[in-house]
A and B are shown apart, each in its own frame.
Chain A
Amino acid sequence: MASAPDIASDTMLDAFAHRHRLRPFEALPWLIAIAAFFVFPDYLALGAQILATILFALSLDLVLGYAGIVTLGHAAFFGTGAYTAGILAANGWGEPISGLIAAGAAAGAVGFATGAIILRTTGLTLLMQTLVVAAMLSELANKATRITGGADGLQGMDVWPIFGAFRFDLFGRTAYLYCAAVLLIGWLVVRSIVYSPFGRSLTGIRENVLRMHAVGAPVRRRKLIAYTISAALAGVSGALIAQTAQFVGLGALGLERSGTLLIMLIIGGVGQLYGAFIGVTIYMIAQDRFSTIDPVYWYFWIGLFMIFMVIFARGGVLGLIERVRQQIRKPSWNKPSWNKPSWNKPS
């Protein structure tokens, strides 16, 4: 028996089994983040927001890109986390790390409770339910003026220095590094979930939920767990924004927040982990640039860009990169040369 098939099969298995290993390009976002710290010292406040929003987008990618749950209400969890951290800081407990944890726990609880009710549906019905949940929370926040500040927003947040030593400075340096560190942890969490058997089963649910039932998977439970974890991470990102801006407004729970997050992720590329990094960065930098040049027309041009992307660049930036890569590669990369099995002869 020739050894060629065995070597080839081993290579195949290794390729498959080593998908989770860190590859060189995955250091790129972090190198860029570190470089940006030194190269753009005047933009660190924006940078911190971008980093926190990337975490938010990662949380959405987990349910949308990997589990296939289309939601327009993810701001519900972001806002819950933001208000949790904000209310704590405005009422005497400004310790940031514990604020993050409380925010994550609160948002996770909301995610679990609402997910248990609405995840039994799919499609437009589910989309509506996610919208409605966020809208209800927004109304609640609007009415509970004494606690949340209502339409004026939550004032009087006093966030303590991190570990008692690192004050939030005016230049946003502490904020930037704080958000970067939390994003790093969040990214590691999402990345390991995505490559775990659980994460693989989420892609199965996305690709063919009927078949997942037919292979014995507890589909509802898996979806709920993913939704809860995603909600918790979104809550943490909300808390980051609240703590670094020292303010929370109703927009944190709004449709526009959920909608633009979805757009950012789609622009970057859904279900591929790094779409979050790319999409958020592009969108937020563009928005920042436009707000200085031409604030009124931001909507028009970003809208045009989005339509342009749908027509010419399906699959977002990552999809575009993938297509370019495939053009460059020779098309014969997947034809191994061992013998075909005997059953292939005509019967």
Chain B
Amino acid sequence: MDDLLSAAISIAFHGLALAMVLYLISVGLSVTMGLMGFVNLAHGAFAMAGGYALTTLMSHFQLPFGVALVGAIIIVVLASLLLERLLYRRLYGGDELDQVLMTMGLIFMTVGAATYFWGPVAQPIHPPELISGQIHLGSRDFPTYRSFLILCGVVLVTFLWLALERTRFGAKVRAAVDNLRMAQSVGINTSQLFALTFALGSGLAALGGALGADLLPIVPGYALGNLVYFLIVVSVGGLGSIRGPFVAAFLVGTADTAFKYIAPELGAFFIYALTMAILLWRPRGLFGHA
């Protein structure tokens, strides 16, 4: 019984850590898809870029972890703003297939570029002493880094919720997700809103990718390899929602981790089956708009 409890706590802990990473990466995708109706398959590339930027800034430029992390986020945000302006903007409201082609093209380019600059091997992350090792909580030891990850996640979820519910920016986003035409006719600058939301989402993805590098290894095939999980979190959670992806990420994270303990061969299959079942029951996702 004690073993079972111990295993359950382990699963919950590590599952929550994975869930946080998935959430950070996917929440931006959920909001932009709900807001712009744009199928951005390349979203994972921003997470990957965050990971590569972090490792490069730390190893090549010898920056400390915290500074490198902030730097990585800034780099990815700027890059995403540029891409949004040059590429994404052209296809808003356009044909789905064009969006698929474009974003798949972006993914392919990142695969090629990443292989060219960093090679095929996974990037190692070296978190600073402060958040490495183990911490003692109650009667157990937990990896400090994962605890830090969970803490980050919780802080950010709260921050996001507050931002969405309590700020004017958040109000505009909610209005535009609900009814774009109305939002425009009320004078909301939706073009600017798209750009800012896109940048915010990409920045969060970069954070998630950078912090989550030991859970989701930074390899050139990152965007394509993890695409299904990101899309599952978004579609099961519900487009345009920030609560939805959190619940979905939690489900996926804990299920994946649980199965790794219990029956490693069945993990992915179970998650896919669960996704199918949930989408049949709630096609719009758990928290999707009607």
Contacts and interface: CB of A to CB of B under 8 A. Distances in A.
A195 interface: no
Given A299-B109, A300-B109, A300-B113, A117 B280 contact: yes
Nearest to B33: A124
A302 B275 CA distance: 32
A309 B102 CA distance: 8
Contacts of B279: 121, 125, 128-129, 132
A299 B87 contact: no
Contact of A139 (B91, B269, B280): B269
Interface in B252-290: 265-266, 268-269, 272-273, 275-276, 279-280, 283-284
A266 interface: yes
B276 A299 contact: no
15 contacts: A124-B239, A125-B283, A127-B39, A132-B228, A132-B275, A132-B276, A135-B228, A135-B268, A136-B272, A262-B97, A262-B104, A263-B104, A299-B109, A300-B116, A302-B108
A299 B104 contact: no
B269 A128 contact: no
Chain B contact residues: helix, strand, loop or mixed? helix
Interface in A273-330: 296-307, 309-311, 314
B98 interface: yes
Interface residues of A, number: 43
Nearest to A114: B276
- Which residue of B101, B107, B111, B268 has the most chain A CB atoms within 10 A of its CB atom? B101
A139 B228 CA distance: 13
Given A262-B100, A296-B115, A306 B280 contact: no
Interface in B32-57: 33, 39
Interface string B58-100: 0000000000000000000000000000010011000111101
Contacts, number: 121
Contact of B224 (A143, A256, A309): A256
A131 interface: yes
Contacts of A296: 112, 115-116
Given A143-B265, A299-B111, A311-B90, A125 B105 contact: no
Contacts of A299: 108-109, 111-112, 115
A263 B228 contact: no
Interface string B96-134: 111011101111111111011000000000000000000
A151 to B, nearest CB: 11
A314 B102 CA distance: 11
A159 interface: no
A269 B104 CA distance: 16
Interface string A99-139: 00000000000000000011001001101110111011001
Contact of B97 (A117, A128, A270, A311): A270
B112 A255 contact: no
Nearest to B90: A311
Contact of B101 (A117, A135, A306): A306
Contacts of A305: 105
B109 A307 contact: yes
A311 B86 CA distance: 10
